[in-house]
Every structure is written in C-alpha cells, then in structure tokens.
Amino acid sequence: MIIVLKNGTTPEQLREFSDRLSSQYQVQVNVWRGTQSTVLGLLGDTHTIDIESVEANEIVESVKRVQEPYKKANRAFHPNDTVIPVGDAKIGDGSLQLIAGPCSVESEEQIVEIARRVKASGATFLRGGAFKPRTSPYAFQGLREEGLRLLLEAKRATGLPIVTEIMSVSHIDLFRDVDVIQIGARNMQNFELLKEVGKLDKPILLKRGLANTIEETLMSAEYIMSSGNEKVILCERGIRTFETYTRNTLDISAIPVFKKLSHLPVIVDPSHASGIAWMVEPLSMAALAAGADGLIIEVHNDPQHARSDGAQSITPARFDALARKLFTLHRAVRG
C-alpha cells in the first residue's frame, strides 16, 4: 500500500501516523521523502487494512493499494484453477457446463418436462426459481417452498443436479437438498446472507451485482470463502449502463479478468444480461469464446405464458440447436 501525504506534513505528524499504522496492522512502514511530497510504503499483509480509515487521516492526500484486498479468492495465492464437482459434473475443469431451465418453477409437469428436454440436449444442471426477486410486490413471487419440492421432483426424474436462488437467511434450512445455491445479483452485497452460506458445505453460484465492480464481486466471494466455504462459482450477468436496447450490458471482459485475478470458475448468464430471447445465442457463443466455464440459460416450454421473464426465455428446441453450436465451438477453441 502506497500512501501519499499532503504537503506541509510535519515530522511529528508523520511519526505519529507511521507508529500507529505499524502497531495497528503489523506492517512495516517505509518512508520516502521527496522535495515536494512524502510517500509511505507499507509492507506485509495489507489486505486487512481499512483503506477508508487511512484516507481519513488529515495528513493523507491519497492511498493506493498494490495488493488486491482479497486473499482466498486470489489467484496469486492459489495459482491452480478451482474445480468444483457436483454429481457427475465438474465445474471449472475445462468442460462446458450448461445450466438450463425456467425462470420460475410453475408446476411439476412444467419443470419435469423442461428438465427432460434440456438434459437430452446436453444440459448438466437444471435451474429454476422457487423464491423470485421481483421489482414489483404485485408480480408473481415464486412458488417458494413448493417450488423447491418440485425442483427436487425434477431432479429425481432426470438426475440433473439443481441450481436455485436463496433470498433470505431465514430460508437456509429449506435449501439443504439443493445442489448449488444461487445468490442473486440484488443480494450480492447482502453480507449477512453471504456469511450464512459461507457456513455450508455446498457450491454457491454468486451473481455479480448490477452495479458492482469485478473487485467487489471478488470481495463478496471472499466473504463466503472466509466463512469456510471455498466452493464459489462466479457469474457475470450484465451490468447497468446507459444503453437501453438491452436490459443490461453483458460485461464480456469480466470473464478473462475474473480468470486472471481469481482461480474460481466463471459462468455467464446471457438471458438476464440481454433480457431478449434472440440474443441468447450470440451472447452464449461470445461468452464461451472468451473463456467461460459454462452458461446459465433460461429455457421455457411456453415462453409467452411464462409467469416471469418470458421475454428472455428460449424454447427447448432453440436450446437444443444452441447447445449443438456451443459444443462445436467448445471443441474448436478448447480442443
């Protein structure tokens, strides 16, 4: 950590500040005094230093981190890719993982039918929303407990492990049989929830928040990992920008950046990124070409009667055609 001090800092102020830093954080403080400014260099384990409290000091002009503020999620400390096994699937081992299913679970017939269809096309996981975060209190909020039960029925019928979203710490017990728990974009900084899922021994699919940086996403992964659960899957699902044609803007760059900064697997959600069914194909292809370990895609057997997110869902037939293209692309770029 590099700390630039203000002009006019007295030697006494410098000494007091420097002593406080070394006692408070067990770092070594090096001073470099130029003619115009004084710079401090902090050596040691600086990731626990509260940058805001340093900035608050009246003699501090600015602060710059040299090390990243996350450690367990950091590739520098874990050079090898993390591979997360779930049933027969291995997320992060170079294979292509396809997570598919409806936005909301609506009925046993619906979820089992979709599960069968997507499995036949090569999907390795079934997704489906039981608890649904909706902008409006008047919109369908999901079948909740009943939705979880139906997902488990579909798992029994097809063998596909299931991925579904948790919305509250008070629901954790309900998720004991879920294979992968999803933290939605709106809860990416619900830190109390992150701590709780960090106590589980279960993979967590962590969606990047709409307005969260790559670093903040890794810090939320760090919350889960530092609570004990290192099975975190990162998910890029589009960020909020000024562009209005798409619902969000898929940050394709986040894929290689997550891969460089972290050892965790990365999947992409083209359905929520665009909000538009016909865009799922080109965005899926792009994500795979950019290095994603998998995709999470909304598939509905009857999109126009879907109880949520119909506009971005594709039919099982289109998913089948897309999956073929994706496996071809996967062979071409990873083969």
Near a second copy in 18-37, by CB under 8 A = 30, 32, 34-37
Of 95 and 189, which CB lies nearer to a second copy in the complex structure? Answer: 189
Tell me the C-alpha distance between 212 and 215, whole Å: 8
Residue type, position 178, single letter:
V
- Give the count of beta carbons closer than 10 Å to the beta carbon of residue 39: 15
* CA–CA dist 87, 104 (Å, integer): 23
- Select from 250, 266, 297, 323 the one that contacts a second copy (CB under 8 A): 250
The span from the CA of 271 to the CA of 74, in Å, is 28
CB of 261 to a second copy, least distance (A): 8
d(CA 224, CA 153): 29
6 binds a second copy (CB under 8 A): no
Residue 317 binding a second copy, by CB under 8 A: no
CB of 125 to a second copy, least distance (A): 22
122 near a second copy, rule: CB under 8 A: no
Nearer to a second copy, 111 or 219 (CB): 219
Tell whether residue 157 is a contact of a second copy (CB under 8 A): no
By the rule CB under 8 A, 14 interacts with a second copy? no
Q: Which is nearer to a second copy, 157 or 252 (CB)?
A: 252
Q: Nearest-CA neighbor of 193 among 165, 213, 215, 156? A: 165
Cα angle: 18, vertex 27, 81; to 5 degrees:
145
Site for a second copy in 45-104 (CB under 8 A): 47-48, 50, 52-53, 55-58, 61-62, 64, 66, 69-70
Q: Which stretch binds a second copy (CB under 8 A): 88-96, 146-154, 156-164, 206-214?
A: 206-214
CA pseudo-torsion sign 208, 212, 80, 28: negative
CA angle 229, 157, 120 (to 5 degrees): 90
Listed ranges 94-102, 117-125, 154-162, 270-278: which one lies at the site for a second copy (CB under 8 A): 270-278
Q: What CA–CA distance (Å, rounded) separates 332 from 335?
A: 6
Site string for a second copy, 210-229 (x = CB under 8 A): xx-xxxx--x--xx--xx--
- Report which of 41, 36, 35, 49 is spatially closest to residue 18, judged by C-alpha positions: 41
| C-alpha count within 13 angstroms, C-beta hemisphere, residue 101 | 31
Segment near a second copy (CB under 8 A); pick from 77-85, 107-115, 154-162, 298-306: 298-306
Q: Applying CB under 8 A, does 199 fall inside the site for a second copy?
A: no
Residue from 206, 102, 215 nearest 154 by CA:
102
Cβ closer to a second copy: 26 or 37?
37
Per CB under 8 A, does 334 bind a second copy? Answer: no
Residue from the set 279, 295, 297, 314 that interacts with a second copy by CB under 8 A: 279
